[in-house]
Amino acid sequence: MDIDPLGGCTLEEEKERVTMERISTHQFMTLEAAVLMGTTFLPVASIVTSASGRDGWMSVLPGLAVGIPYSLMVLSLVEQYPSKNLLEISKIVFGKWIGKIIGLIYILITGYFGGLLLGQVGNMYQVSIMPLVPISVLYLGGLLIVLYLVISGIEVFARFSEVILPMIFIALLLNIGLSIPRIEQGELLPILSEGLQPLFFGGMKIVPFAMQFILFLAGLAAFLPTGKQELGQLKTGIWRAFFLVGILNTLVVLIQIIVFGPTETIRLVYGLLELGKYLEISRTAAGIESLFLGVWLGALVIKISAFFFAVIWGLESVFSWKGLKWNFAVGIVFLGIAFRFTRGPSLVMEIGLVERYLILPFASVWILVLWGAAQWKKGADV
């Protein structure tokens, strides 16, 4: 049996990998923006305002921008090890067993966080517009959509993101625009009254959002085009997507602070939905909260699917487990985690803890060390 010396896999497996799905550079940019945006536009105002006060809107873009160098590191690894995800690259660079340990941690973190996100589907709809619907029905409905996207493959998922992302942007811009008449003058003043230090703490609250995307990108790397021109386009897409999402989230925070004030913005974890209750398009279309909930569902499905894909890629890379039965097994695990946190406050708290104490340290350290080790190995082999 012929073995590929670079990756340790058979040549038959390598041929299968060459013919596997690929996404275009445009699809990558829209998928990146969709996963980055995810559900961040709902809690972001409360999160940064609690850390930075009325100046919190200034910390959103710098916090997300931290993800740009990490994304470029991933693309550098893709260029050095084409058609492999970062779990496979870790086994090449660090050795088989350390690579497997990293892969196991990756699976546990992405699987647990994906289950928590599924729990948000039931919690949000049950406390807003569907209080009488059993939470199990909401969980199953969300999971079925996610399973369909995962089984259909990464190309279908990318096309789904291309459809949903413009809807998210339009809905958010509509919400922001219709809120302008409710602006309270003076809510942003005085600017930087507490100095620059609070902006640092606010930015640190945003960095985990970028690291969530980095974990997804670690698995998506195997599906990216590897031509020199295409890699250049991918790098440009990274800059565009991060700044586009950063600017839009900044506007979301800004409008809530100047409409609700800093104190109320902190209290309203999902202030954007609260804002939708008071907006009117015309006399016959007032309280368009349901519209934003529909858009939010699409965004959440994208985020859950991204972490579902991450778990599937992890299982395949670490244990060589793949196939429909493992998709359903992961779905059952997601449901079990979601049912553990049926109360909104405990769910929101758990998501915050996972973001700050698992996703942020793991992704930031792993990618940096892997990139550094790969560069050192590259130089040593020359």
Q: What is the pLDDT along the chain (382 residues), one digit of tens a residue?
A: 444 444 445 444 444 444 457 899 999 999 999 999 887 888 899 999 999 988 999 999 999 999 999 999 999 999 999 999 999 999 999 999 999 999 999 999 999 999 999 998 887 777 666 777 788 888 999 999 999 999 999 999 999 999 999 998 988 888 888 888 888 877 787 888 788 898 999 999 999 999 999 999 999 999 999 888 999 999 999 999 999 999 999 999 999 999 888 888 888 877 777 777 666 554 444 445 666 777 788 899 999 999 999 999 999 999 999 999 999 999 999 999 999 887 777 888 899 999 999 999 999 999 999 999 999 988 776 5
Domains and CATH numbers, the chain: 23-368 (1.20.1740.10)
Q: Which residues contact 218 (CB under 8 A, 6 or more apart)?
A: 74, 85, 86, 87, 106, 310, 363, 367
Q: Can you tell me the distance from the alpha carbon of 201 to that of 154, in angstroms, rounded to the nearest whole number?
A: 36
The two tokens of residue 245 are: 């999402």
pTM of the model: 0.90
What was the pLDDT predicted at 20?
A: 56
Q: Is the peptide bond before 190 cis (omega within 30 degrees of 0)?
A: yes
Q: Can you tell me the distance from the alpha carbon of 208 to that of 355, in angstroms, rounded to the nearest whole number?
A: 6
Sign of the Cα torsion 188, 271, 164, 19 reads: positive
β-partners of residue 286 are 280
* 55, amino acid identity: D
The two tokens of residue 182 are: 């409710």
Which 3-state string (H, E, C) describes the chain? Answer: CCECCCCCCEHHHHHHHHCCCCCCHHHHHHHHHHHHHCCCCCCHHHHHHHHHHHHHHHHHHHHHHCHHHHHHHHHHHHHHCCCCCHHHHHHHHHCHHHHHHHHHHHHHHHHHHHHHHHHHHHHHHHHCCCCCCCHHHHHHHHHHHHHHHHHHCHHHHHHHHHHHHHHHHHHHHHHHHHHHHHCCCCCCCCCCCCCCHHHHHHHHHHHHHHHHHHHHHHHHHHHCCCCHHHHHHHHHHHHHHHHHHHHHHHHHHHHHHHHHCHHHHHHCCCHHHHHHHCCEEECCEECCHHHHHHHHHHHHHHHHHHHHHHHHHHHHHHHCCCCHHHHHHHHHHHHHHHHHCCCHHHHHHHHHHHHHHHHHHHHHHHHHHHHHHHHHHHHHHC
What was the pLDDT predicted at 255?
A: 92
The two tokens of residue 22 are: 């690929």
Residue among 350, 330, 331, 352 at smallest CA distance from 340:
350
CB burial class (10 A; 0-12, 13-18, 19+) of residue 1?
exposed
Q: Can you tell me the distance from the alpha carbon of 206 to that of 213, in angstroms, rounded to the nearest whole number?
A: 12
